[in-house]
Structure 1
Amino acid sequence: MDREVMTRKGVTLIELMVAIAILGILMVIAVPNYNEWREKNSIENDVHKMYGLLSELRTKAFTEKMSVDFSFNGANDVLTASYDNTSASVNLQNEFEFVGSDVSIDTRGTYSGSSIKPVSGSTISQVDCVSVDDTRIAIGKWNGSCEHE
């Protein structure tokens, strides 16, 4: 009978507790890194969405000879472009704001306005703002102004 008990396969309570402790330690390390990665990715994704909308509508304004006006709706988490009784927008996961005046594009494809930056500064993302110049836009890091490469 003793041999039958000793040949059974299974996990002891101590082995189970050690495995749970190791899993707990790994979670303590992984969760903050995951949250940081998620925030960084969220901000950078928003910046690329705004950049894409600005670039696309600049081409449209230039080729179709129309003006485009951009504005933030709601809690600054939707960038909306208005043109020819139509609108286009991108939903953002974070809040952004214009620095200075709102951005617009004239019929020649020339921008007016200034930069777009996050409402609450991001220290972890490599890009978190959109710099708007007369003839070009660029993405960069907000440091009092939108510094781009």
Structure 2
Amino acid sequence: MDRTLRSKGGFTLLELVIVVCIIGLILSIATANFRRVTRVSSINHDLNFIAAFMQQKRLEAFSQKNPITITVGATQITTAPFFGTVTLENQFIPSAATFTVNNRGLFSPTTGSIRLADMSDGSPNNCIVIDLTRVRMGRWNGAGANCVAD
């Protein structure tokens, strides 16, 4: 009997191990980038929400001719006299714990900011500037210790 070895197509074990290692490396890089993108998205969501919330309360105080007090904590915002609490996903540090909007729609204190507690994310915006009549997003200036509006 004559037995001949035939070449069979396929991959060797070494080739399969190399491909699996390369796929694992690519997935680990993609996962790290995805986490960063989700974090930045969460921060932007909270900042947009805070800015819109403050502007909405300003308009309510002006249109109803009733002052509103907004208390900003690390992870939540509370309003009075229309009691309501909003919980945020990220931690923030306000320059003043309480902002009051008078019946003319003016903020007191007349200047202030709310900034992100953890600045290591690389988010394009990481604070909110509150002026007498406006609420704007900005970038924290560590050297000057203030929030510069965009």
In structure 1, list runs of 5 or more residues that go unmatched.
none
**1:30-80 deviation digits (Å, cap 9, x = unpaired):** 22222222222121111111011111111111101111111135xx11112
| Superposition pairs of residues 77-116 of structure 1, within 5 angstroms | 77-83=75-81, 86-100=82-96, 102-113=98-109, 114-116=112-114
Aligned residues: 143
Q: What is the root-mean-square deviation in Å for CA atoms of aligned residues?
A: 2.4
Structure 2 length-normalised TM? 0.81
Aligned partner of 1:137 in structure 2 is 135
Q: Secondary structure at the match of 1:103?
A: strand
1:111, 1:133 within 8 Å by CA — same for their partners in 2?
yes
Deviations 1:75-124 (A, max 9, x none): x11112222xx223332111112114521111111011311112232450
For 1:72 and 1:52, the matched residues in 2 are separated by 14
TM-score normalised to structure 1 length: 0.82
Q: Distance in 2 between matches of 1:12 and 1:88?
A: 65
Identity %: 26
Tell me by how many angstroms 1:29 deviates.
1.9
Any stretches of 5+ residues in structure 2 without a counterpart?
A: none
- CA shift in 2, pair 1:108/1:24, >3 Å: same
